[in-house]
């Protein structure tokens, strides 16, 4: 697959993200404009909850979906607070909720609180809207814990499982993504994967799309089943589509 074809495929699966602490209304306007690039559109924008209403106006009439984050980035354990936040975000116009799993609870062996969080949020996120559960694989670290978190999230009703918040020293890794894909495949459920954090080049995107093709089949990874959570990769994808980039994907796809 050529760089341009790979970049086009990745762009369609992109959750174009701005979760910086310095995000502004003007930054959201610019993000939403990029999301509707003529080479796209991207699958979604992923933004802080306080900007959902503004993004809804900027994206009116567009197929680009609006994702926002809850229980982010710490993965706390206050289920009531999180569900209140989810209801508010949905009321403001969010189509997708990216929920951080209480991963510290899972690390200490408390599956119940982690499972309850996902189950309760699942009940609120209905009517065709999407629930992505962020496992924070860089903090779980151990393959067995990543596998357990993946199974737990899927069993509790996740539409997608997502690697990372992008706020920890280790974000997405191919090793974690492979574990997650194998759990998705074994589950037999229509669950998607979202690698997120540290994906900056066409080659990076190609690694994760290649994993999905190998494990799930070449037709599986579409915007309905596969997302890339990134901010900095957008320009690299556009450059590759327009033929302004070198052959960065060779050997990675």
- Domain extent listing, the chain: 3-241
pLDDT bucket at 62, cuts 50 / 70 / 90: very high
Q: Phi, psi (5° rounding) for residue 18? A: -135, 100
pLDDT bucket at 245, cuts 50 / 70 / 90: low
In whole angstroms, what is the distance from residue 193 CA to residue 164 CA?
11
In whole angstroms, what is the distance from residue 164 CA to residue 227 CA?
12
pLDDT value at position 249?
40
Residue range 135-185, pLDDT digits in tens? 999 999 999 999 999 999 999 999 999 999 999 999 999 999 999 999 999
Return the structure tokens found at 180: 């997650």
pLDDT bucket at 83, cuts 50 / 70 / 90: very high
pLDDT value at position 49?
98
**Average pLDDT, whole number, for the chain?**
95
Which residues form the catalytic set? 98, 162, 194
Return the structure tokens found at 21: 């602490």
Residue 95 near residue 66, CB atoms below 8 Å: yes
Averaged over 217-240, what is the pLDDT?
Answer: 97
Q: Which residues contact 217 (CB under 8 A, 6 or more apart)?
A: none
Q: What angle do CA 197, 187, 75 make, to 5 degrees?
A: 40
CATH number for the domain formed by residue range(s) 3-241: 3.20.20.70
């Amino acid at each position: 697959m050529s760089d341009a074809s790979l970049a086009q495929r990745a762009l369609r699966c992109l959750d174009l993200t701005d979760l910086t602490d310095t995000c502004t209304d003007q930054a959201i306007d610019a993000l939403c404009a990029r999301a509707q690039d003529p080479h796209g559109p991207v699958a979604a924008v992923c933004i802080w909850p306080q900007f959902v209403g503004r993004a809804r106006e900027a994206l009116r009439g567009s197929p680009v979906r609006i994702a926002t984050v809850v229980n982010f980035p710490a993965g706390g354990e206050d289920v009531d607070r999180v569900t209140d936040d989810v209801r508010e975000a949905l009321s403001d116009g969010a189509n997708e909720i990216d929920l951080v799993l209480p991963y510290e609870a899972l690390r200490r062996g408390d599956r119940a609180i982690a499972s309850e969080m996902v189950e309760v949020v699942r009940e609120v996120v209905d009517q065709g809207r999407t629930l992505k559960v962020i496992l924070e694989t860089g903090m779980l670290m151990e393959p067995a814990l990543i596998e357990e978190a993946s199974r737990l999230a899927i069993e509790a009703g996740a539409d997608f499982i997502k690697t990372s918040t992008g706020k920890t020293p280790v974000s997405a890794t191919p090793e974690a993504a492979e574990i997650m894909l194998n759990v998705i495949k074994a589950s037999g459920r229509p669950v998607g994967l979202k690698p997120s954090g540290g994906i900056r080049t066409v080659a990076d995107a190609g690694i994760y799309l290649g994993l999905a093709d190998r494990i799930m089949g070449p037709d599986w990874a579409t915007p309905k089943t596969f997302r890339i959570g990134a901010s900095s990769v957008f320009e690299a994808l556009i450059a590759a589509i327009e033929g302004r980039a070198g052959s960065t994907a060779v050997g990675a796809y």
